[in-house]
Amino acid sequence: MKKIIAIIPARMAATRFPGKPLTSILGLPMIEHVRRRVSLCDFLSEVVVATCDEEIRYAVEKAGGKAVMTANTHERCTDRIAEATDIIGGADIVINVQGDEPLVLPEMIEEVAQPLLDDPELDSVNLVARITDQEEFENPNAPKVVTNRRGEILYISRESIPSRKKANTDDYLKLKQLGIIAFTGNFLKIFTRLEPTPLEKIESVDMMRAIEHGYRVKAVETKGRMIGVDMPEDVPKVEEILARDHLFKRYMGQ
């Protein structure tokens, strides 16, 4: 059996929404929604929160979870995940689950890991979802993804790609990047040694580093609905969905 772990990076100093991981959503810190939902996946050997903030570590451990302290100098969450993976002794597959995805589904973890089990030559897999409206297509908080014919990612941008004018039809599948990415343990080590790239910095998207250096990143589309919490105004939207969510009642013991 391969060791498959999920690591949830979280820090208080988010540029657009400071203190976001501990934001209360229906009475529970957001980071705990993510950790508990991911922990419902039987596919995993371990679920760990990686943080540089003692208040996040305290909140997770108080709730019975596991957290590891990482450096506060990481500019990219993938580098934080790599450090956390080393701290806990490595893994065959490491899944990065962003701490601002409180609607993550356990089956999404399996969806993103399975291609790495099926194809030993694959380096990384990024979960994506369909963009369903023009507002989201133009929202810079939803990174847009274009792929080649093999379903491998060509580019990720916060701008409206492909062409806003020509993609404003129903004849092109518009995709957004989700904050759920799987790496082989070996490639995660390689990734952190790669030189940061210009497009990674311009787009503020970690995976552009791998793509610019010529590594394969497969896109896997999920049918699950995801609303990441990028700004305070996203919280009521998530709460409305969670109030009807069977998983929420399950991990809250209701």
pLDDT in tens, 190-207: 998 999 999 999 999 999
Q: Could you give the 3-state DSSP secondary structure of residue 254?
A: coil
Mean pLDDT of 161-181: 78
**Rg of the chain (C-alpha set):** 17
CB under 8 Å to 100, separation ≥6 — which residues? 20, 21, 30, 34, 179, 228, 229, 230
Rounded Cα distance, 19 and 16, in Å: 10
DSSP bridge partners of 24? 29
Q: Which domains does the chain have, with CATH numbers?
A: 4-251 (3.90.550.10)
Q: Answer whether 156's CB lies under 8 Å from 174's CB.
A: no
* Position 8, amino acid: I
Q: Residue 217's pLDDT is what? A: 96
Task: Residue 245: name the closest of 66, 19, 41, 25 by CA.
Answer: 25
The per-residue pLDDT for range 54-107, each reduced to its tens digit, is 999 999 999 999 999 999 888 788 889 999 999 999 999 999 999 999 999 999
Task: Give pLDDT, residue 163.
Answer: 79
**pTM metric for this prediction:** 0.92
Ramachandran region of residue 214, left (φ > 0), alpha (ψ -120 to 50) or beta? left
DSSP, collapsed to helix, strand or coil, labels residue 154 as strand
Give the tens place of pLDDT for each residue, 26-58. Answer: 999 999 999 999 999 998 999 999 999 999 999
Q: CA torsion, points 231, 235, 237, 240, in degrees to nearest 10?
A: 180
Backbone angles phi, psi at 213, to 5 degrees: -85, 5
